[in-house]
Chains A and B, each alone.
Chain A
Amino acid sequence: MSDVYVMGVDMIKFGRFPDRSVPNIGAEAALMALDDAGLGIQDMQALYCGNLGQANAMVGQRILQEIGQTGMPVVNVANACATGATAFREAWMSIKAGMYDVVLAVGVEQMGKGLLGGAGGGEGIPKEGLLGSGTMPCVFAEAGMEHTKEYGTTFEQFAKISVKNHHHSTMNPKAMYQIETPLDEVMNAEMISYPNTKLMCSVNVDGSAAAVLVSEKKARELGMSRAVKVRASAMASDPYTDRDLVMPDVNACTRLAAKDAYEQAGIGPEDVNLVELHDCFATAEMLHYENLGLCKDGEAGRMIDEGHVELGGKVPVNVSGGLLSKGHPLGATGIANIYEVCTHLRGEAGARQVEGAKIGMTHVIGLGTACGIHILEKTN
């Protein structure tokens, strides 16, 4: 099977674009990724398009209607917050399978403002606030409080994650926000679901990201100088766990996917130079330090206290600003984080560059549950 390379990758600056259509937002990133690869839409053999909000509305084809209708096969995918990573992985698989040499993956989302989720629906009466809460800040607060129960993790430690990611985003011009948020400001912000304050919740934004994936043969033909090798593409759903009927389990499936990814790449967590992981809430990021093996179980609090996950630390996490500050356009997130890691591996990340980065990891979780992990490697 051919190795697969990212030849072009880009994202738009995340923001709010209520006057644009979903395909129009997606088309912009698609063109940027094509330009980055030095290729045109006529060179693409297939398109894998990730979008959640209009999952039944042929977003991929509508993107091609804006940038070039070549007749190529288009697959539209939806997989909750793992949607973008799923589109990228389908593109990767099509090259692995030997079907194509050059394919395009796009992730795009247009979001409203406000809370996502909600307990129960449909029949009878609303269950929200009656049988607990299904809002996302609450669901991830409950997951974080499991860590508190087990290891004594504090509200302040969770809040520090948000301070870090907001700090990182000040160096990322494509992030929604570039604003420092000191610890007292994070902790004193409006409490949404304890222990997640408003500044510990990801930002609902519109955005898109895209990647051109190629086979090794094609990469050699085009030139390897900025190519990034895909060392692993792993995906898992939630295996049975005792509480997952009422408590979506983001841990077990991340651990499964991480194990698979490390095995595919033939490396361990100690070889990873930077990680973009799914910080939909500050409480979630804490869990994934352990789930991804960046530290031993129970040591996540120390990772943030001792600065190991900051830019300049042992393994910087979410130097893009993460979902907390860069923003979280659901379907775009899983390709935007690949853009971030590739940018570091290419040495093009400017002020936030992780020096000497050779290997990076991306991680997303879609509740329900889908986990997607990619390991990417610098080629020269």
Chain B
Amino acid sequence: MSEAKPLPVVDFLKIPEDGDPYLEGYRCKKCGSIYLGERNVCSKCFARDEMEVIKLSETGILHSYAIVFRSFPGIDVPYISAIVDLDEGGTIKGNLINIDPDPDKIEFNMPVKITYGDALGRKDKEGNSYLSYFFEPA
């Protein structure tokens, strides 16, 4: 099998042919609300056809989190499920890595940055690899 390019784990993760991966958002030109994934109508201000495509920031702060010790069978635990407010708007959720899963070590509002890497070795039915995003302390 040839060395196939990994697929994006979610639609809003973009992998350009030549260039670095990034996260894409849709921003309402009327009110500035930011969405993940394509949409035409703003659910905040109801404006139609006012969405513009933007690159989301690669940095942000930790808004909230939980430390998951019990998940579904086959999922490695513990891990930190994190909610991150991006510096230029938008909020995304993901795993916070490269820090102990210990509430004494994790600080609210701590700066984090987005990194990209293989999706923990997970492959789909066709054997495709996936690229995912993660957060790590900045």
A-side residues, CB < 8 A to B, are 115, 118-120, 124-133, 135, 137-139, 141-143, 145-146, 148-149, 155, 190-196, 240, 242-243, 245-247
Contacts and interface: CB of A to CB of B under 8 A. Distances in A.
10 A-B pairs closest in CB distance? A141-B66, A132-B81, A129-B75, A194-B67, A246-B93, A149-B108, A125-B122, A240-B44, A133-B81, A243-B91
A251 to B, nearest CB: 12
B63 A137 contact: no
Interface of B: 7, 9-10, 33, 35-36, 43-44, 63-72, 75-77, 79, 81-83, 85, 91-95, 103, 108-109, 119-120, 122-124, 130, 132-133
Contacts of B133: 131
B83 A246 contact: yes
Contact of B83 (A135, A142, A195): A142
A130 B72 contact: no
A129 B71 contact: yes
B70 A145 contact: no
A243 B85 CA distance: 8
B69 A124 contact: no
A242 B91 contact: yes
A194 B80 CA distance: 9
Given A124-B7, A125-B123, A133-B81, A245 B91 contact: yes
A149 B70 CA distance: 23
B70 A137 contact: yes
Contact of A129 (B33, B43, B79, B91): B79
A152 to B, nearest CB: 10
B124 A193 contact: no
B72 A132 contact: no
Given A145-B66, A245-B35, A128 B72 contact: yes
A126 B122 CA distance: 8
B75 A128 contact: yes
B123 A149 contact: no
A151 to B, nearest CB: 11
A125 B119 contact: yes
A119 B122 CA distance: 15
A246 B7 CA distance: 22
A196 to B, nearest CB: 8
Contacts of B124: 124-125
B116 to A, nearest CB: 13
B44 to A, nearest CB: 4
Given A146-B64, A149-B64, A246-B83, A129 B70 contact: no
Nearest to A139: B66
B68 A131 contact: no
B70 A193 contact: yes
A234 B60 CA distance: 37
A118 B68 CA distance: 12
Contact of A247 (B33, B83, B109, B119): B83
B7 to A, nearest CB: 7
A266 to B, nearest CB: 32
A118 B92 CA distance: 16
Contacts of B43: 240
